[in-house]
Amino acid sequence: MGRRIIINYSVLSEAVGYRLRRAQLAVFQDFGESFAAEGLRPADFSVVLIIKHNPGLKQSEVAEALGIQRANFVAIVDGLEARDLVERRKSETDRRVQALYLTPLGEQFAENMLTTWQAHEDRMVEKLGGPDARDELIRLVNRLAE
C-alpha cells in the first residue's frame, strides 16, 4: 500500500519557475485534449493562426515570430501542407522565399480551430477566476518573458 506521506516541498511551493512549469503543463494538457481529434499541437495552432492573420509572410518570419528555429519550422509547415491547410508559394521577386498562405480548407479549419480554442481558453479563464484574473496573469507573465 502507498504510505500516506506528507512531503515538504521547501521553496518549490513558491518557486516561480516550478509553479509556472506545472501550470503550463496543465494548460497544455487541456489544450491537447481539446485538439486530440484534430491532432493539432500547440505549435500547429500558433502557425495556422499567424498565417491566417498575416498571409504572405515568409517562412522565416513566421518562425521567428513564434520563436521557432527555421530548421525545425520546415517539418511543421510540411505537416500543415500535407493536410492541405497551408500553402507555400514561391515569391516572384525573390525566388529563395516561400510565402505562406492558408488554403481555402485552411481558412475553414482555422474557424473551427478558433471555436475549439475559445472553449479551451474559457475553461482556463474560469479556473483563474474570471477575465480580470486572466488579464492580471497575462500582465505578470509578460514581464517574465520581457
When asked if residue 119 is in the footprint of its own copies (CB under 8 A), the reply is no
Residue 59 contact among DNA, its own copies, none, beta carbon within 5 to 8 Å by kind: DNA
By CB under 8 A, residue 26 contacts its own copies: yes
**77 makes contact with its own copies (CB under 8 A):** no
CA dist list (Å): 30 to 23, 45, 46, 118 = 11, 14, 16, 12
Shortest Å, Cβ 38 to its own copies: 16
Angle at which helix 70-82 crosses helix 42-53, to 10 degrees, equals 80
Cell of 39: 491532432
Residue 11 CB, nearest approach to its own copies (Å): 7
144 beta partners: none
* Residue 49 contact, options its own copies, DNA, none, Cβ 5-8 Å cut-off depending on partner type: its own copies
Q: Is 88 helix (H, G, I), strand (E, B) or coil?
A: strand
Evaluate whether 98 touches 90 at the Cβ level (below 8 Å): yes
Q: Residue numbers of the site for its own copies (CB under 8 A)?
A: 3, 5, 7-12, 14-28, 31, 42, 46, 49-50, 52-54, 57, 61, 65, 67, 114, 117, 120-121, 124-125, 127-129, 133-138, 140-146
